[in-house]
A and B are shown apart, each in its own frame.
Chain A
Amino acid sequence: MTAAPFLALLLSPILAAAGALVLPPRWRAASVLHAGLGLISLLAALRFVALVLDGWTPTWGATVLFRVDALSALLAACVAFVAALAALLGPRLGPDDHYTPAQVRRFRVFSSLFAFTMLVAVTANNVGVMWIAIEATTIASAVIVPLTVTKASVEASWKYILIGSVGIALAFVGTVLGYFDFVTLVGQREYALNWTVLLANAPVLHPPVIQLAFVFILIGYGTKAGLAPMHTWLPDAHSEAPSALSAMMSGVLLAVALYAIVRWKAVVTAAVGHQFPNRLLIGLGLLSLAIAALSLVIQRQYKRLLAYSSIEHTGLMCLGLALGPLGVFASMLHLVNHTLAKSMMFFASGRILDRYGSPEIGRVSGLLRVMPWTGGLFAAGMIALLGLPPFGMFLSKFALVRAGFADGKGWLMAAVLALLAVAFVSLLAHLNRMLYGPAPAGIRRGESGGWAVVPLVACATMLVVLGIAVPAPITELLDRIVEIAGR
């Protein structure tokens, strides 16, 4: 029983990659197959969510290699959703897409591999395998960052692969130290690197070693999550990559890295108590919030704007993790909202880039007149990112600040609110300039690729549903996660 969903979840991206390699991208069947496999993996992820909600924690593999609990199910669903979106809306050979068949093939192969590595990272029980999968995500995504080779995209991809790999290597040092501490206590065991075993033996581990390991883990996975001061690769990579890829990277890759940090935080909290990890998380979270918020004030390109907003939201989530159970609930809800909103925004910005031809904010004006639907979605996404009412982020921002005050960190919350105000005022200023004002002469009006807007509208409605009334299954899932990570 338990093998089927795993196979569906993990194998479909592999098949999609193989299919894309074999079938010529010009065929209609190829893109339909690609999209279909993406949907299958999404259905598998949703199946996992259902299983977890029924109280199961499905496991698979020899030494309990794969294990899906509430946290993994949530992340798997997010990854599969964004991967399906990318498969559906990624570069294809439509009339107004300017990609060559070779590029499309390369994109499809490596984006499916990218999805596969993320799914493995999220479902692996073995901490070592999780590290390998996350390292593999860097490699898979780095290949397609320079899909169209320009000086800027080459530069962005080099920095991405270099900083990413160095960061991840440090995370491996942390993993090794964690395992070292376990071996000195219990001796070598085959399943030693399993997260469940580590968690069980955590109270016995030596505090100084675990603290050292957590520092390396935080710096390593923090680089992948885009936490300051290791965030520098993120704006370049996300603004130069094709928008489908940057949607996947900004939407879910950061979340997967954060997932790794949450896993290790649970172990370290069990070993050393929550005071040490929380202090580190708050420090890094506040730093990234500050740097991102201040960088948003003077921004000339809207894709970089979205990248910096990702850094800011990741910082907020990282901060939330350190504010007790309600904080973890808020940051996980924030994670779901951010994934939806950010991926929608990057797809919409891709369409804007195709139409206006320039990434500069100054050159895009009168968006609501030129492309009413995309403009509307772009506005809706931006307002969602600002945490304004009809959308879900208002609830998670409110819960986060409430958790902060409940935890007695009044001054910290004051700083957070001030930084959020600065960030949001500058985001709104840019949005205002793009949406309204006279439309530039000679721009073709009206929507192009009509049906492509439908999934984005679906994203927007999901965001509104999350905003008006958080559906019961999600609250149930998040409560389960709080039990795992929120002690």
Chain B
Amino acid sequence: MSPELVSQLSVGGSTLVLLAGLAMLWRRGVRAHIGAFTAQSVALAATTAMVGWFTGDWQLWAVAALLLLIKGVGIPILLARMARRFGTERELEPYVNTATSLLVGGLLVLLAYLVTAPLVSVSQLPTRTGMPLAMGLVFVSLFVIISRKKALTQVLGFLMLENAVALLAVLGTHGIPIIVEIGVFLDVALGFIVMQVFVYQIHETFESIDVEQLNRLRE
């Protein structure tokens, strides 16, 4: 695999991942969001596998497999169950309407390019070209968490943030040490489970998962 091919593939992969993130901004339904997240996880796993194949490092293959297993399959199943449980009502009116949120998403990607300019100039790895897109996804997922009202969507935003960071790690450093990789997976999984428990609790006490109602503690 020649370095040029790898850089094109990595750019392609990260573009796919970023597009899935922007889809979250575009679509309203929860089911669509879950679909977007699943696609994103698969694309991320593919990119990781590609980089693993290019560097011949078995650890990356293991990571890709783990990614696919947990984020591609496990979490979407749980998410679907939660979606069924809380009814698939559409995100009625998020804080920001679709047009402006897409515009903001674009601006954020531009900001990401500005911010990661020094990174790209410093690194010699072929996969460095994908990094601005990964940073873009970081900002887009932050914007998703801010602008969406449903607790479930906020959890999805958090998971997307984790995906973005994982992508950044793979592209920038061809894989962080395995201990840390496993630890990160463990954290993300546990974090998701606890958030899921809380979403159920919110639904139980507030009869809806609209974070808007959580404004009792002020001052």
Contact = CB atoms under 8 A, between A and B. Distances in A.
A176 interface: yes
A162 B150 CA distance: 13
A155 B161 contact: no
Contacts of B103: none
Contacts of B190: 136, 139
Contacts of A299: 219
Contacts of A138: 191
A121 B168 CA distance: 23
Contacts of A208: 118, 122
A280 to B, nearest CB: 16
A143 B197 CA distance: 9
A179 B170 CA distance: 11
A177 B172 contact: yes
Contact of A176 (B122, B168, B194, B217): B168
Interface in B115-164: 115, 118-119, 122-125, 138, 142, 145, 151, 154, 158, 161-162
A161 interface: yes
Contacts of A184: 122-125
A181 interface: yes
A179 to B, nearest CB: 5
A403 interface: no
Contacts, number: 137
B205 A151 contact: yes
Contacts of B62: none
Contacts of B168: 173, 176
Contacts of B214: 154-155, 158-159
Given A132-B183, A208-B118, A240-B217, A192 B158 contact: no
- Of the four ranges (under 10, 10 to 19, 20 to 34, 35 or more), the interface on chain A belongs to 35 or more
B96 interface: no
A217 to B, nearest CB: 13
B44 to A, nearest CB: 15
A209 B201 contact: no
A157 interface: yes
Nearest to A143: B194
B107 interface: no
Interface stretch (B77-85, B86-94, B174-182): B174-182
Query: Chain B's interface: helix, strand, loop or mixed, by majority?
Result: helix
Nearest to B172: A180
Contacts of B154: 162
Interface in A138-161: 138-139, 142-143, 146, 149-152, 154-159, 161
Contacts of A156: 217
Given A155-B216, A193-B180, A240-B217, A161 B198 contact: yes
Contact of A128 (B122, B158, B161, B176): B176
A181 B168 CA distance: 13
B198 to A, nearest CB: 5
B186 interface: yes
Interface stretch (A19-27, A164-172, A332-340, A414-422): A164-172
B54 to A, nearest CB: 14
Interface in A436-459: none
B202 interface: yes
A165 B118 contact: no
A355 to B, nearest CB: 23
22 contacts: A65-B179, A128-B183, A131-B180, A132-B184, A132-B186, A135-B191, A139-B190, A139-B191, A155-B216, A156-B217, A158-B214, A161-B195, A166-B145, A169-B161, A176-B172, A176-B173, A180-B123, A183-B174, A193-B177, A193-B180, A209-B119, A300-B219
Interface of A: 65, 126, 128-129, 131-132, 135-136, 138-139, 142-143, 146, 149-152, 154-159, 161-162, 165-166, 169-170, 172-173, 176-177, 179-181, 183-184, 188, 190, 192-193, 206, 208-209, 212, 235-236, 239-240, 295, 298-300, 304
Given A128-B183, A235-B217, 11 more contacts: A128-B184, A129-B179, A129-B180, A129-B183, A149-B205, A154-B201, A156-B217, A161-B194, A166-B142, A193-B176, A236-B217
Interface of B: 115, 118-119, 122-125, 138, 142, 145, 151, 154, 158, 161-162, 165, 168-169, 172-177, 179-180, 183-184, 186-187, 190-191, 194-195, 197-198, 201-202, 205-206, 211, 214-217, 219
